[in-house]
């Protein structure tokens, strides 16, 4: 049947090889991949959000998007603007109000019409001004000629000039009556998309400029100083605000009013400026608001604004990763094509280069069988690789370019981790050979994507007589150390007969730095403590990571791929990881031959692979008996 070949393939491939089979369909390069015209069709992995955006666009509802930066929130907001009818677009004009100059009038006209009106007014003004100037010149000329015959010429000229100046002051100026175009949608292809992220009140709500010459004929009329805000520019379109919670509360309050009224007058925002005297009639601002942020944003947002969105709109959670299926890999191929097209300068990617990008998407997902959806960063990698290809004059971006890009486009944390590594190589603060009692090469992650070797040293001494034993560790790591020791204390007691609570356990993290996340150090701490109590040395070519349960099970941790790579870079030979993390390992080819990965599920296995010397086996036997229970419990997945 048709299914057979795929089945055979699936069977013949180990999990390691699925990694190699990156895409699952053939193509020459990304120039053969069709890029959808509409932005909404370009969004990938956020099917739920796409559905909501479509629905909200047709019903004109607000949306709140919660999720990690770079997952497509602003892209979706832009896409929404494309879906809105452009027939409804309007121009907004500001007219002087002759009854009250400080209360300019507002008129809304169909898009494109505003320009015509302003032009017509300008023509009119010019004509009037020309006629007036003509008359004036004739009049002045008359006076000069008259004075030539009747009196002295000089007096005539002086009189002429004075009359000219006076009339310039007091005659009405036609230019002052020309309406100002506050919002123009002339020739717009689509409904406006306005990004008001981080906008201050004036930019968001509109402002009236200060006039330094408030009188004396040089002043700019009030209506001419009116500037529309983002809420007005977004009229009939989309207003996008990221990190909504960072908007000042007053601004959030005003935003709420604007949402409710669908119009909001413009007034000067700086109190002591002449602009503050001016307040226009209400200016239309019938926009759809797409707000975004992380989970924190929801809690810190103005409650009334939040409930308005809840009541009259949708809330969507953005996904961080998607399943690693052929269908989704195909979407990532399209993503690369999209980014190339969007950039406009970089060459297309061949199949090998796309495979590397997809492999990176797997690594960055940090979760087995998933692809990352933090696509802004992945797009960054695409651009750097493309730039390298471009600078070499290559017609196509290849795997080599992507690999070079990965080296260059490293995060700050990765660069920092490497510089620590260099420093420490100088000081030799970690050992890479031999064995040592109470010393373990732990592994940690910095900034989410950078591994670092974190040596741990432990010493155990009897507590002072009568006193309760203490766990002595420094800084933030104290809590982790405490938990780790408490978790294994039962195991240790059973195994060695030592009651940890009657000992002082010293734990030192050698050369720890700010920003190191040490949650997964408990297996390393336990190993160091056991080694210290039993005086059995630990193999220093081994590095390890894992979290420990009270029963001695080794539980999964985050960032294994980065940790293994860090161990390999530091010159370790073996790395012990939790069995449950086995499928998360997606290390770069370059490291594969350098380091042996041993997945374990109990602390006994950790000992087996890390302790050295003759007494090792008795300990392991004892440990096995203690943690036997955990072998019998089926794994929950
Ligand atoms: P956010 O607003 O969530 O921080 P953006 O929408 O600004 O992220 O994403 C930045 C860029 O990353 C987009 O312009 C697009 O090129 C790419 N991108 C992010 N998420 C997606 C997605 N889900 N589908 C396609 N491209 C995406």
pLDDT digit string, tens, across residues 524-565: 988 998 899 888 999 999 999 998 887 788 999 888 998 999
Q: Give the phi and the psi of residue 542 in degrees, each rounded to 5.
A: -100, 135
Catalytic residue among 236, 374, 563, 579: 563
Q: Is the pLDDT of residue 570 over 60?
A: yes
Task: Give 283 or 19, the one with higher predicted confidence.
Answer: 283
Q: What is the pLDDT of residue 437?
A: 92
Q: Residue 320: CB partners within 8 Å, gap ≥ 6?
A: 67, 68, 71, 365, 372, 373, 374
Task: Give 420 or 289, the one with higher predicted confidence.
Answer: 289
Give 348's DSSP letter: P
Catalytic, 594? Answer no
Give me 280's structure tokens.
């226009």
Question: SS3 letters for 445-511?
Answer: EECCCEEEEEEEEEEEEECCCCCCCCEECCCCHHHHHHHHHHHHHHHHHHHHCCCHHHEEEEEEECC
Q: What is the pLDDT of residue 550?
A: 78
Q: What's the pLDDT tens digit per position in 603-624?
A: 889 999 999 988 888 777 777 7
Nearest CA to ligand 1 atom 7: 74
Give me 61's structure tokens.
């509802």
Q: What's the pLDDT tens digit per position in 399-410?
A: 999 988 988 877
Give 252's DSSP letter: H
Q: What's the pLDDT tens digit per position in 331-341?
A: 999 999 999 99
Half-sphere exposure of 611 (CA within 13 A, CB side): 27
- Residue 179 Cα to ligand 1 middle (Å): 40
CA distances from 207 to 273, 280, 282, 505 (A): 11, 10, 13, 65
Q: What is the pLDDT of residue 284?
A: 96
Which segments within 330-449 are labelled E, that is strand? 370-372, 435-437, 439-446
Catalytic, 279? Answer no
Give 145's DSSP letter: H
Q: State yes or no: ipTM above 0.85.
A: yes
Mean pLDDT of all residues belonging to the chain: 84
Does any ligand 1 atom lie closer than 6 A to the CB of residue 386?
A: no
Q: Is the pLDDT of residue 314 over 90?
A: yes
Q: Is the pLDDT of residue 631 over 80?
A: no
Task: Identify the band that residue 3 occupies on the pLDDT scale cut at 50, 70 and 90.
Answer: very low
Average pLDDT over residues 378-393: 94
Per cent of the chain over pLDDT 70 is 86
Does any ligand 1 atom lie closer than 6 A to the CB of residue 293?
A: no
Average pLDDT over residues 431-458: 83
Catalytic residue among 520, 522, 524, 610: 520
Sign of the torsion angle spanned by Cα atoms 332, 338, 339, 341: positive
């Amino acid at each position: 049947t048709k299914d057979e070949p795929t089945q055979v393939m699936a069977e013949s491939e180990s999990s390691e090889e699925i990694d190699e089979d990156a895409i699952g369909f053939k193509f020459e390069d990304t120039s053969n991949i069709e890029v959808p015209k509409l932005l909404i069709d370009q969004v990938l992995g956020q099917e739920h959000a796409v559905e909501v955006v479509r629905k909200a666009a047709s019903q004109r509802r607000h949306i709140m998007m919660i999720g990690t930066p770079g997952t497509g929130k602003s892209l979706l907001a832009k896409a929404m603007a494309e879906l809105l009818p452009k027939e409804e677009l309007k121009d907004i004009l500001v007219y002087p109000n002759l009854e009250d100059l400080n209360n300019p009038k507002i008129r809304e006209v169909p898009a494109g019409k505003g320009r015509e009106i302003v032009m017509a007014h300008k023509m009119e003004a010019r004509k009037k001004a020309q006629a007036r100037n003509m008359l004036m010149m004739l009049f002045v000329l008359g006076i000069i000629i008259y004075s030539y015959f009747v009196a002295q010429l000089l007096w005539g000229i002086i009189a002429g000039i004075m009359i000219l100046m006076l009339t310039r002051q007091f005659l009405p100026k036609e230019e002052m009556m020309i309406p100002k175009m506050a919002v123009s949608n002339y020739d717009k292809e689509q409904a406006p998309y306005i990004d008001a992220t981080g906008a201050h009140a004036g930019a968001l709500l509109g402002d009236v400029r200060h006039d330094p010459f408030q009188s004396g004929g040089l002043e700019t009329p009030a209506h001419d100083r009116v500037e529309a805000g983002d809420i007005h520019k977004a009229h009939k379109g989309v207003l996008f605000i990221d990190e909504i919670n960072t908007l000042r509360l007053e601004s959030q309050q005003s935003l709420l009013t604007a949402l409710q009224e669908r119009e909001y007058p413009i007034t000067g925002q700086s109190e002591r400026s002449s602009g503050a005297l001016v307040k226009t009639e209400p200016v239309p601002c019938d926009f759809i608001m797409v707000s975004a942020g992380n989970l924190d944003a929801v809690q810190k947002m103005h409650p009334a604004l939040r409930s308005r969105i809840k009541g009259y709109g949708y809330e969507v959670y953005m996904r961080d990763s998607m399943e690693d299926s052929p269908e989704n890999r195909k979407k990532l191929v399209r993503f690369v094509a999209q980014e190339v097209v969007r950039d406009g300068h970089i060459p297309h990617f061949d199949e090998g280069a796309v495979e590397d990008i997809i492999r990176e998407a797997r690594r960055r997902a940090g979760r087995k069988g998933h692809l990352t959806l933090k696509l802004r960063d992945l797009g960054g990698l695409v651009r750097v690789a493309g730039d390298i290809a471009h600078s070499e004059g290559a017609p196509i971006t290849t795997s080599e370019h992507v690999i070079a890009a990965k080296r260059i486009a490293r995060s700050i944390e990765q660069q920092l981790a490497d510089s620590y590594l260099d420093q420490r190589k100088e000081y030799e603060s970690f050992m890479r050979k031999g064995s040592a009692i109470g010393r373990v090469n732990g592994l940690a992650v910095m900034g989410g994507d950078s591994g670092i070797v974190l040596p741990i040293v432990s010493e155990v001494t009897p507590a002072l007589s009568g006193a309760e034993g203490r766990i002595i560790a420094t800084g933030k790591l104290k809590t982790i150390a405490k938990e780790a020791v408490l978790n294994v204390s039962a195991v240790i007691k059973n195994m060695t007969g030592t009651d940890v609570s009657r000992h002082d356990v010293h734990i030192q993290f050698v050369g720890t730095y700010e920003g190191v996340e040490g949650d997964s150090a408990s297996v390393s701490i336990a190993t160091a403590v056991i080694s210290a109590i039993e005086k059995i040395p630990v193999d220093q070519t081994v590095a390890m990571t894992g979290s420990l349960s009270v029963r001695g099970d080794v539980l999964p941790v985050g960032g294994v791929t980065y940790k293994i790579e860090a161990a390999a870079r530091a010159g370790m030979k073996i790395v012990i990881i939790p069995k449950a993390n086995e499928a998360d390992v997606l290390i770069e080819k370059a490291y594969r031959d350098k380091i042996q990965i041993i997945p374990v599920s109990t602390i006994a296995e950790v000992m087996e692979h890390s302790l050295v010397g003759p007494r090792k086996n008795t300990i392991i036997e004892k440990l096995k008996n203690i943690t036997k229970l955990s072998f019998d419990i089926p794994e929950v997945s």
